[in-house]
């Protein structure tokens, strides 16, 4: 398995982990685009959002609850945050293991670039 995020999930590659349970791991992005930039990933390998199936519904709901918990724990829940998923190359996806970007700590522009 050559997937870098699978290796982070199994701790073969180090990361600054902020949350972990049996289904999900969350860690600081190595190239942060905001004062807070956390990546939340399922431990199960899914390349893109398009690979989601009916059996992943609970997992995705769980990920959003984990994001809320991280926002409270790290202290940016009150000010707010942005969740971004890039799906395939044209959207800017570079790592093909599903991940949710959680960005916070500065004003965000709209529309995104
Ligand atoms: P995306 O462009 O949506 O695929 O996002 C991939 C993200 O993964 C980028 O923000 C990268 O900075 C981040 N990234 C790549 N490798 C690592 C790593 N080893 N640890 C933490 N973040 C990483
Ligand atoms: Zn993977």
Catalytic residues: 99
Which residue, 10, 7, 17, is CA-closest to 70?
Answer: 17
pLDDT at 4 over 90: yes
Locus of tokens 């700590």: 105
Q: Is 92 in the pocket of ligand 1 (CB under 6 A)?
A: yes
Q: Is 48 in the pocket of ligand 1 (CB under 6 A)?
A: no
Q: What is the atom index within ligand 1 of the atom nearest the CA of 86?
A: 3
Q: Is 95 in the pocket of ligand 1 (CB under 6 A)?
A: yes
Tens-place pLDDT, residues 42-58: 999 999 999 999 999 99
Residue-range domains of the chain with CATH: 4-104 (3.30.428.10)
Residues found in the chain: 113
pLDDT bucket at 113, cuts 50 / 70 / 90: confident
């Amino acid at each position: 398995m050559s997937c870098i995020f699978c290796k982070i999930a199994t701790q073969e590659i180090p990361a600054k982990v902020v949350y972990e349970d049996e289904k999900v791991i969350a860690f600081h992005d190595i190239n942060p685009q905001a004062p807070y930039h956390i990546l939340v990933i399922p431990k199960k390998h899914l390349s893109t959002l398009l690979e989601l199936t009916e059996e992943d519904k609970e997992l995705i709901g769980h990920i959003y609850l984990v994001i809320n918990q991280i926002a409270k724990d790290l202290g940016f829940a009150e000010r707010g945050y942005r969740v971004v998923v890039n799906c395939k190359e044209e959207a800017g996806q570079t790592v093909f293991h599903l991940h949710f970007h959680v960005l916070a700590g500065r004003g965000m522009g709209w529309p995104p670039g």
